[in-house]
Amino acid sequence: MSFPCTTPKQDEIISKPLADIFVSDLSTISEQGKSIKEFDGILTVRRKNQEGIPMHVRVVPVACIGSAPTHLIFNFDIPGGQMDFIATLPQPKEAPRGSLHSVRRCSFDVRSIASDGLRRTSLAKLTSLPLEAPITKIINLLSQVQENCSADEARLIDKVLEFLKREGLYSPQMKEIRTDDPIATDLIGALLTGPSVYSSRRSSNDSIIRTGTSTRTASIVPAKMKANPIIMELLEESLSWDFDIFKLEEITDYHPLLYLGMEMFRRFDVFATLNIDENVCKAWLAVIEAHYHKSNTYHNSTHAADVMQATGAFITQLSNRDMMVMDRMEEATALIAAAAHDVDHPGRSSAFLCNSNNPLAILYNDLTVLESHHAAITFKLTLGDDKINIFKNLDKETYKSARSTIIDMILATEMTRHFEHLAKFVSVFGGEEPREMSQSEEETSILMRRMLIKVADVSNPARPMQYCIEWARRIAEEYFMQTDEEKQRHLPIVMPMFDRATCSIPKSQIGFIEYIIQDMMHAWESFIDMPQLITYMQINYSQWKKYDEQGVNTLADIMAKQPPVGNKLTNSK
């Protein structure tokens, strides 16, 4: 029904007493606030200096659960859409007067706040916007479905909409950690939460202490690089999951990233892909390796080489399965991201950085500080010297795409978003049979690359036992050093469990596998089909359990039971 030139204006309705708006008897809607029902019909509306006009009006009460209605929502049908306003009902003196603010803080009748008119108005505004996110489409569709739902169904949809409108839809929410297990709660809480609660992480979410970095020139390239047959022989196995990265560390005199990197670049044809001379790549690897800190027991160039080796093994496995999910440029950028993902790491956590007011924490507003620095320093070093600029022969668009991929992969190693990345990956690839994807599906390609580097970054528990235990020793020692410094400097202790006097190494590894690694490895293995990942993880988990039961807790006790690393893996009890 339309009324040309006679429809009321908003200033004639808003904030006016009901008696000043309607000519009609309102007893059909309210009996002095005692019995409120929905009304859908014709009411006569007053006009300035005009006779009253009939209008179609829908009225819905707003009520807190367990209380009488305090407000009415009036929806007028007018040309071009609906007009809505809220009127406060008269209340008895003994009852608290309802207000819009108080209504918002209450639980109220879903139908009262989700009236057809309000929904249609909101949807009209949303659909008129020039941009629309996928989540907005879902919200719009659910809102449309809600229009024809029963009260109970509408209430359920409102709960769904409430969750969908929240930020961090995939943010981690702890639900299964045993509250009686302080080791698990301490470790996992530190890994997955932000700096506001003194967070930390297992692998790549740590903070920079030294901010001054300068390019170290290619003079660091070992002079005998081409002349060592022992190294070349070992590198023949560089795509094997049993590859001995610690032996490479030893025989290259702590230059594993340079040697392994050149081998990986050769195997995956990176020189041709980047249209670059091998010597430029060699110089780049040498500079990147020089900016890893040898003083770190864990976050050093051996860890970077290990992650690059795992990346190469994963790429090979995907190719062997004829899953053409990565083209040559994507393979090259994945290897580059792996090599540089922890460059200039100081062996201290992001929480330590934030707690000590480090300049980098201030620069990056305490958010993704370390990963942002790794990505930034990678390109600062690379673009700062033409002799090591591996991207200099790429055209503008190709370089832009390569840069975006490398940055995204490095940032994906930030552990506070672990569950977000895992949940998204499972939602796309979580079927019983991994589905193949075309290269045009950029979004799914991004999810796959993120998971690839995440698994490579924390793959230690899925490596052969001898290597798994050595990595556990190295990360524990690095965390011990942080705790020592926190005590010395009277800073908040991020991970109290990593006190060298009291720490149980098996318990820390058991918790890490149970709450972080296990689900991710199963999801990744189902996609890539590498059963050895699960086999080694289960063997290592059982061994840590056995050590825990035997009371073998300290680093010294554990290492006494292990053969030295750096030699060919042998069977041991």
Domain positions in the chain: 10-103, 182-560
Return the structure tokens found at 341: 């993902």
Least trusted range by pLDDT, from 9-23, 186-200, 266-280? 186-200
**Contact yes or no for 316/456 (Cβ under 8 A):** no
Helix, strand counts (H, E) of the chain: 25, 6
The residue that leads in pLDDT, 261 or 110, is 261
Burial of residue 498 (CB within 10 Å: 0-12, 13-18, 19+) is buried
Q: What angle (nearest 5°) sits at the alpha carbon of residue 407, between those of residues 406 and 412? A: 100
pLDDT recorded at residue 202: 38
Q: At what angle do helices 301-320 and 278-290 cross, to 10 degrees?
A: 130
Angstrom CA distances, 432 to 30, 438, 529, 538, stand at 58, 19, 12, 21
For residues 106 and 98, give the distance between their C-alpha atoms in angstroms, rounded to a whole number.
11
The pLDDT of residue 328: 95
What's the mean pLDDT in 433-452? 72
DSSP state of 108: B
Is residue 127 predicted with pLDDT exceeding 90? no
Q: How confident is the model at residue 428 (pLDDT cuts 50, 70, 90)?
A: confident
Tokens of 318: 């995907």
User: Is the pLDDT score of 558 beyond 50?
Assistant: yes
What are the C-alpha distances in Å from 153 to residues 98, 106, 159? 27, 20, 10
Coil vs helix vs strand at 264: helix
Confidence of residue 330 (pLDDT cuts 50, 70, 90): very high
Decide if pLDDT at 203 tops 60.
no
Question: Annotated catalytic, 345?
Answer: no
**Locus of tokens 């330590």:** 352
Q: Give me the pLDDT at residue 333, please.
A: 98
Q: What is the mean pLDDT of residues 228-235?
A: 94
pLDDT at 144 (0 to 100)? 77
3-state secondary structure of 18: helix
From the list 463, 541, 562, 536, the residue with the least C-alpha distance to 244 is 463
Asked if the model's pLDDT at residue 110 lies above 50, the reply is no
Token duo for residue 385: 């010297």
Measuring CA to CA, which residue among 558, 365, 366 is closest to residue 475? Answer: 558
Q: Which of 11-15, 176-180, 182-186, 386-390 has the highest mean pLDDT?
A: 386-390
Residue linked to tokens 């700096």: 195
pLDDT recorded at residue 467: 97
Lowest mean pLDDT segment, chosen from 213-217, 282-286, 472-476, 519-523: 213-217
The stretch 96-124 carries a mean pLDDT of: 41
Task: Flag whether pLDDT at 346 surpasses 80.
Answer: yes
pLDDT of 102 strictly over 90: no
Sheet holding 81-88, edge to edge: 39-47, 50-62, 71-78, 81-88
User: What DSSP string describes 23-91?
Assistant: -S-GGGTBSTTSSB--EEEEEEEEETTEEEEEEEEEEEEE-BTTS---EEEEEEEETTEEEEEEEEPP-
- Furthest CA-CA distance within the chain: 103
Query: Is residue 508 pLDDT above 80, yes or no?
Result: yes
Top pLDDT among 323 and 348 is at 348
* CA separation for the pair 424, 170 (Å, rounded): 8
Which of 142, 141, 169 lies closest to 153, judged by CA? 142
Count of alpha carbons within 13 Å of 35, Cβ hemisphere only?
3
Residue 384 confidence (pLDDT):
97
pLDDT of residue 420: 87
Domain at 182-560, CATH from 3.20.20.210, 3.40.50.150, 1.10.1300.10, 3.40.190.10: 1.10.1300.10
Q: How far apart are CA 10 and CA 107, in angstroms?
A: 28
Residue 542 above 80 pLDDT? yes
Phi and psi torsions of 324, nearest 5°: -80, 70
How would residue 460 be classed by pLDDT, with cut points 50, 70 and 90? very high
| Best CA proximity match to 69, nearest among 19, 109, 21 | 109
pLDDT in tens, 31-45: 444 455 667 777 777
Contact predicate 295/339, CB 8 Å:
no
Type and span of the H or E element at 207: strand 206-207
**Cα-to-chain-centroid distance, residue 405:** 16
pLDDT at 139 over 90: no
Residue for token digits 């002079």? 223
- Higher-confidence residue: 342 or 29? 342
Tokens for 541?
């988990």
Task: Characterise 49 by phi-psi region: left (phi > 0), alpha (psi -120 to 50), beta (else).
Answer: left
343 DSSP assignment: T
Q: Of 71, 299, 374, 421, which residue is the catalytic one? A: 299
C-alpha dihedral over 140, 145, 150, 152, to 10 degrees? -50
The mean pLDDT of the chain is 78
Report the predicted TM-score, pTM, of the whole model to 2 decimal places: 0.70
